[in-house]
Structure 1
Amino acid sequence: MVHGRAPDHGDVSALYRRSPGWCITLGGNCAAVPVRLVSTGPARRCAALTERPDAVVFDVDGTLADTERDGHRPAFNEAFAAAGLPYRWDGDDYGALLAITGGKRRIEHYLRDQGVPGQQADELATTLHASKTERFIASVRAGSVPARPGLAELLDELRAAGVRLAVATTGTAGWVRELLDGLFGPDVFELVLTGDDVPALKPDPAVYQQALLQLELPAQRVVAVEDSANGVRAAVDAGLRCAVVTNDYTRDQDFSGATVVCDGFSRDSRRPLTAQLLLES
């Protein structure tokens, strides 16, 4: 496994809090796009790309699809109800719980907060997570979890330019492959790494380090596309540059360390992202 610190990419003067309809390009230009900036403290380091990457590695949850909103949260609540438990996660509850990566870990953390003893929490979390996964896969097969608007077009543009595509996610293999095959077909991503393939989940960089090994590329030739601060940290700590496309749950997170931050994959929203990935104006 490759180990190492992220390269020194140059100072960024502030962190940012954003409103819908924005895009920030760090180290580049983003003309005529409204943005509200608030300095919040010392920033991590980042830089814009100067040449086209050989590969782009995508996160899945919240990045390729709004899985959290359309699939995971409803499936968690259905699993709770089926088990006769009084729990229900609303949007705010779930947004806070997303700081815990991994569905089983998220359930276990929540159960402990509800006063369930340690061993019992672990066993119940395992049962609930299995039930939740079955329900989530059913929703994927029913077409209830669509790709984010505009994403398919971006993937086509990258493939046409000869950029290799891969996936690095904390999700489990069973539902990840179902989702990817259903949304994009089996041949779009040459490499799919899940939380089952690595010893630690994001923000640990293990999944990106493994991606670099299997792609046989140096970190400076690969860009990650993420939706969350945990994902940015994982990518940057593996030495990758990282672009961010936010969603409703992550819009206000701290994305210092990213090279570009946009609020969607629509043609207008993703223009700065496309410019960095394909070096187009």
Structure 2
Amino acid sequence: MNAILRALIFDVDGTLADTEETHRRAFNASFAAAELPWWWSRRVYRELLRVAGGRERMRAYAQASSDGLAERGDFELLLRRLHEDKTRRYDALLRAQPLPLRPGITRLFDEAGAAGVRLALATTTSAANLDALLAPHFGAAWRERFAAVVCGGDVARLKPAPDAYLQALRRLGFGADEALAFEDSANGIRAAQAAGLGVVATPTWYSLAEPLPAALVVLPHLGDAVTPLPPEEPGAPFVDLAHLRSWHAAQAGSAPPRRAAACC
């Protein structure tokens, strides 16, 4: 007998909102303020997103660079200060001009809440970044919507390691067969699948620097009344709990839903 779908676990950056351009702007502003010879174009940052975590991303960039910054004795301190400054700038950007959530996110949150399906977040981003993104939409008490919130600072290993998803499942008190994950990136899909979860993928341009692993279904977004899914997509005009329950059940069988072409 198939397990019942009891929880939906969402990644944040790229999945709840297309945040990466705002992150990129905040990084570049921090580099300029520190008088570093770094500037990340959209395509450079797209490649860097293969590395999970902002500080890890900067470390990888410095180690691949010939500017010698990675050899400084205070390099780790520099990374910490840059990341703290970048977080403050990202927070200020989002509070000055909140980013819209991707189509279908708020609708599905409301539907799940009304049906008693628990919501959780499993992300490599910081708690401060979460607050900056979600408070403008759901108020200061936004955490009350979620039965579990796992941030990058809560786990020893970032995605593609499964730690964030395993921690979310532990806090929920559910098995992987009782939940679905929502992701936008290759690292995120690998992390969720390593935790035993089926994945609904909604990539953006930024998350397509590399091919995505196979997921239950890949969609341009989840769809809503204002921005419906194209009629040829699974779940059109919008993904609801009935679709999710069907896909969740199908992953235990032999006929998963059709995998749509990735967007962008």
Name the TM-score, length of structure 1 as normaliser: 0.76
Partner of 2:253: none
Partner of 2:109: 155
Partner of 1:234: 191
2:27 equivalent to 1:60: no
2:147 equivalent to 1:190: yes
2:129 equivalent to 1:175: yes
Partner of 1:95: 46
- The offset of 1:193, in angstroms, is 0.6
Q: Once structures 1 and 2 are overlaid, which stretch shifts more, 141-150 or 240-249?
A: 141-150
Q: Deviations over 1:223-253 (max 9, x none)?
A: 1100001001000001111110111112464
- The offset of 1:135, in angstroms, is 0.1
For 1:87, what is the secondary structure of its paired residue?
A: coil
Q: 1:58 to 1:142 in 2, by over 3 A?
A: same
Partner of 1:85: 36
Q: Once structures 1 and 2 are overlaid, which stretch shifts more, 253-262 or 85-94?
A: 253-262
The percent of aligned pairs where both chains have the same amino acid is 42
Alignment of 1:95-134 (within 5 A): 95-115=46-66, 116-118=69-71, 119-134=73-88
For 2:181, what is the secondary structure of its paired residue?
A: strand
Partner of 1:259: 216
2:201 equivalent to 1:244: yes
In structure 2, list runs of 5 or more residues that go unmatched.
248-256, 258-264
For 1:165, what is the secondary structure of its paired residue?
A: strand
- The offset of 1:271, in angstroms, is 5.4
Partner of 1:201: 158
- The offset of 1:158, in angstroms, is 2.0
Q: Which amino acid in structure 2 is aligned with residue 242 of structure 1?
A: V
Q: Once structures 1 and 2 are overlaid, which stretch shifts more, 221-230 or 109-118?
A: 109-118
Q: Deviations over 1:12-64 (max 9, x none)?
A: xxxxxxxxxxxxxxxxxxxxxxxxxxxxxxxxxxxxxx775100000000000
Determine if contact 1:111/1:121 at 8 Å carries over to the other structure.
no
Structure number with the higher helix fraction is: 2
Work out the CA distance in 1 between the residues paired with 2:42 and 2:80: 23
Q: Root-mean-square deviation (CA), in Å?
A: 2.1
Q: 1:278 to 1:158 in 2, by over 3 A?
A: farther
Q: Which amino acid in structure 1 is aligned with residue 17 of structure 2?
A: A
Q: 1:87 to 1:144 in 2, by over 3 A?
A: farther
Partner of 1:34: none
Determine if contact 2:17/2:100 at 8 Å carries over to the other structure.
yes
Determine if contact 2:98/2:133 at 8 Å carries over to the other structure.
no
Partner of 2:251: none
